[in-house]
Amino acid sequence: MFQVTQHLQAGKHTRDAIELNALAKVLLCNRQTPLLIGSIKSNLGNTDAASALVSIVKVLIAMETGKIPPNYNYNKPSQQVPALVEEKFKVVTETMPWSGGLAAVNNVGLTGDVGHIVLRSHKKEKVNDGLPTDEIPRLLVISGRTKEGLDETLKK
Q: What is the pLDDT of residues 103-119, one digit of tens each?
A: 989 887 767 777 889 99
DSSP string, 26-60: HH-TT--SPEEEE-THHHH---GGGHHHHHHHHHH
Strand 89-91 and strand 35-38: the pairing is parallel
Residue 118 lies in a domain: yes
SS3 4: strand
Distance, CA of 70 to CA of 4 (rounded, Å): 12
The string of pLDDT tens digits covering residues 58-90 is: 999 999 888 999 988 888 888 999 999 999 999
Which domain range does residue 15 map to?
2-125
pLDDT given at position 10: 53
pLDDT digits (tens, 9 = 90+) for 25-63: 988 988 899 999 988 877 777 777 778 888 899 999 999
Q: Is residue 6 part of a domain?
A: yes
What is d(CA 101, CA 119) in angstroms, rounded to the nearest whole number? 8
Please check whether residue 147 lies inside any domain of the structure. Answer: no
In a domain, 140, yes or no: no
CATH code assigned at 65: 3.40.47.10
Farthest-apart Cα atoms in the chain, separation: 61
The total number of structural domains in the chain stands at 1
Residue range 1-26, pLDDT digits in tens: 677 777 655 556 777 888 889 889 98
Q: What's residue 1's pLDDT?
A: 65
> Quick check: is 64 in a domain?
yes
Instruction: Tell me the β-bridge partners of 6.
Output: 38, 105
Is residue 27 a part of any domain in this protein?
yes
**Mean pLDDT computed over 99-103:** 87
Q: Does 135 score more than 60 pLDDT?
A: yes
In a domain, 153, yes or no: no
pLDDT for the residue numbered 47:
75
